[in-house]
Amino acid sequence: MIKWMLQVVLVIGLVFCLFIGLIHYLFSIKKFPVSGLPQQQYWIHKGLFNNKTVFENTIPAFDSAYRQHLSGVEMDVFYIDSINDFIITHDLPNRYQLAPLRLSEVFLKYDTAFSYWLDLKNLNDVNKERITLKFKSLMTPSLSAKVFIESANAAALGYLAAQKLNTLYWIQYNRTNFIRKWFKLTLIKWQFIQYRYCGATIAASMTDEPFFETFKEVPKFIFHIYTPELYRTVQKQQNTAVYLMDYLPAQ
């Protein structure tokens, strides 16, 4: 009985190792899209604002970014089923008690003057089809090429990617626990094998040399760059599409 159990454990372990090896091999040969993606651009996080007279995620904040000739802007969006549209806000309800701003209004005003990084807060398996249809109804082909949709929901985001929307997978992983980090990185590789994401997003503070080496072929969109020091640590890394700034770097 014990011998049989050991054989079963051995077979399971062998299959597991083969599967893990296959994941790493398939990831190593995967080709990621480069054509049409930004190349080492810096965009602004939620527009230019001070949250006193000009508030984040508002038309005045985006107008300020436009006047600075910034090529891209990040904004936080929620899909609201009752109105079949996206509301631009970091929180629901809005922490500043501002009137709702619809994404359709922003697209109408700026069109392709900006590239857009949309942090889609509530994408899930229930609303992914309605979200896809709404995005396609809002965007012309020229605008669609400049819109990048971010989410940590791997499967639902993969559905959007299959519908030929530009998608960015939000990477989160533990850098302090080696075992957890290894399993998390393997899982992230598996998500990229399964789905046709355009790139990965990650906070600047979460990056390190092993991350950049592991994902050197993946176009990276790096956010939460608050200081010149953080900018310098990520600025020269390979295959970075966008640096999402929380301040304006010196020209």
Number of domains in the chain: 1
47-90 pLDDT, tens per residue? 999 999 999 999 999 999 999 999 999 999 999 999 999 999 99
Residue 120 placed within a domain: yes
Q: Which amino acid is at 131?
A: I
Q: In the structure, what pLDDT confidence band is assigned to residue 251 with cuts at 50, 70 and 90?
A: low
What angle do the packed helices 103-110 and 59-67 form, to 10 degrees?
30
Give the structural domain span for 44: 31-245
Range 132-154 burial, b when 16+ CB lie within 10 A, else e: bebbeebbeeebeebbbbbbebb
Residue 24 placed within a domain: no
Q: Is 43 helix (H, G, I), strand (E, B) or coil?
A: strand
Residue 5 placed within a domain: no
Residue 113 placed within a domain: yes
The CATH number of residue 49's host domain is 3.20.20.190
**CA pair distance 51, 31, nearest whole angstrom:** 42
User: What local confidence, expressed as pLDDT, does residue 13 receive?
Assistant: 75
Residue 19 placed within a domain: no
Task: Give the ranges where 30-88 is alpha helix by DSSP (H).
Answer: 59-67
Residue 17 placed within a domain: no
pTM for the model: 0.92
Mean pLDDT comparison of 93-97, 149-153, 187-191, highest-scoring range: 149-153
Q: In the structure, what pLDDT confidence band is assigned to residue 17 with cuts at 50, 70 and 90?
A: confident
Residue 26 placed within a domain: no
For the four alpha carbons of 129, 115, 93 and 173, in that order, the dihedral sign comes to positive
Residue 166 placed within a domain: yes
For the chain, the C-alpha Rg in angstroms (whole number) is 20
User: What local confidence, expressed as pLDDT, does residue 182 receive?
Assistant: 85
CB atoms within 10 A of CB 20: 15
